[in-house]
């Protein structure tokens, strides 16, 4: 099966698609740093760093089955983004570029991924419109909200998948697995780091402690992207008061005087991960001050990537803030693999 990914970001969906056997010929991504990360990790894929609105032709032909996939910008649909979850936000309309490329190429399958908020934005208006437009192209469409933690990803993260099949056979979503992966199983073999670490490559701390960490390590002897945001002394002092699974509410009020009204902080701020459970959502984990379960510091890029289920051979490029954003925006590869496995093996 031959694939094209648009709105690719760093390429989490492409990693999952490749694991399932999809050969990705082309990727389109506007952000310079995300496109660099994508091209570095997918050297056999043509990576176009450009605005999707300027994409006009498919630069290859194939007789194999084809699939178009991608996730149009989702910030406007996020449940935490009340200000721009409406019809007026221009980015909320970029899904029309996805529809345009699907019409241009007419692949056998289309996979459109987005945040759960798409179900609720404008009372489901955008979801209904997307499905209608894909059906108008001749596709049999179905959709479902999937929780990454039920597909081998050590993170409680919900993503919406809209699947279209041109042969009208329909699609049955993969069934969730019962075994969840904990933070301990996911990251405990990674290097011990300090606040503000800028070590690109380091040896592992110990041998793999789980089948998950063994799988993501593969044959690697060392691991990259051991970068941690350097927090101030006052922030580190706040971290010390927070137990596993706790948040800002455990911080003494005297340490929060710089907040205008700290009681209005949401529950995801200053959250320390629980070793024995899957992680909370790895979104903007730097801004949210997501805390390592046993060390008083933020998460490294590699730790966040592990919690997203990126294999250790995958390297993120750009400045630290760009790498953090790329990880947080990505579709967990193992979740994507579960979806693509079903498509690739369909009759």
Is 74 marked active-site? yes
Q: 15, 22, 68, 74: which is the annotated catalytic residue?
A: 74
- Closest C-alpha to 236, from 275, 270, 268, 279: 270
Helix/strand/coil for 159: strand
CA dihedral of residues 15, 21, 22, 28 (deg, nearest 10): 20
List Cβ neighbours of 12 (8 Å cut-off, separation of 6 or more): 308, 310, 330, 331, 332, 333, 336
The 10 Å CB-count burial string (b at 16+, else e) for 275-304 is bebbbbbbbebbebbbbbbebbbbbbbbbb
- By CB neighbour count within 10 A (0-12 exposed, 13-18 middle, 19+ buried), where does 252 fall? exposed
Give, in order, the Cα–Cα distances in Å from 2 to each of 164, 272, 286: 16, 41, 36
Provide the token pair at 74: 């989702």
Provide the token pair at 30: 């506007």
List Cβ neighbours of 90 (8 Å cut-off, separation of 6 or more): none
CA pair distance 170, 166, nearest whole angstrom: 9
Active site (catalytic) residues: 74
């Amino acid at each position: 099966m031959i694939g094209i990914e648009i709105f690719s970001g760093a390429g989490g969906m492409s990693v999952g698609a490749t694991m399932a056997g999809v050969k990705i010929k082309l990727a389109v991504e506007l952000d310079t740093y995300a496109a660099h990360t994508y091209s570095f990790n997918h050297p056999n894929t043509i990576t176009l760093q450009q605005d999707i609105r300027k994409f006009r032709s498919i630069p290859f032909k194939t007789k194999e089955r084809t699939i178009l996939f991608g996730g149009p910008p989702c910030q406007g649909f996020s449940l935490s983004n009340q200000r721009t979850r409406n019809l007026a936000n221009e980015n909320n309309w970029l899904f029309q570029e996805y529809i345009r490329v699907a019409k241009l190429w007419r692949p056998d399958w289309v996979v459109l991924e987005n945040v759960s908020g798409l179900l609720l934005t404008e009372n489901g208006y955008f979801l209904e419109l997307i499905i209608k437009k894909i059906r108008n192209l001749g596709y049999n469409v179905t959709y479902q909200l999937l929780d990454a933690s039920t597909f081998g990803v050590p993170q409680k993260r919900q993503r919406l998948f809209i699947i279209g099949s041109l042969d009208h056979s329909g699609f049955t979503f993969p069934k969730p697995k019962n075994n969840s992966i904990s933070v301990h199983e996911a990251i405990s073999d990674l290097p011990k780091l300090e606040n503000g670490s800028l070590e690109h490559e380091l040896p592992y701390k110990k041998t793999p402690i789980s089948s998950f960490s063994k799988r993501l390590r593969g044959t690697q002897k060392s691991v990259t992207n051991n970068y941690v945001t350097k927090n101030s002394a006052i922030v580190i002092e706040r971290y010390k008061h927070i137990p596993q699974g706790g948040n800002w509410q455990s911080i003494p009020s005297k340490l929060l005087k710089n907040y205008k009204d700290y009681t209005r902080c949401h529950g995801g701020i200053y959250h320390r991960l629980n070793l024995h459970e899957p992680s909370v959502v790895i979104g903007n984990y730097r801004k949210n001050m997501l805390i390592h379960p046993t060390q008083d510091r933020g998460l490294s890029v590699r730790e966040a990537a592990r919690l997203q289920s990126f294999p250790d051979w995958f390297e993120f490029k750009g400045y630290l803030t760009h790498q953090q954003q790329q990880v947080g925006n990505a579709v967990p590869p193992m979740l994507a693999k579960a979806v693509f496995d079903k498509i690739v093996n369909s009759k």
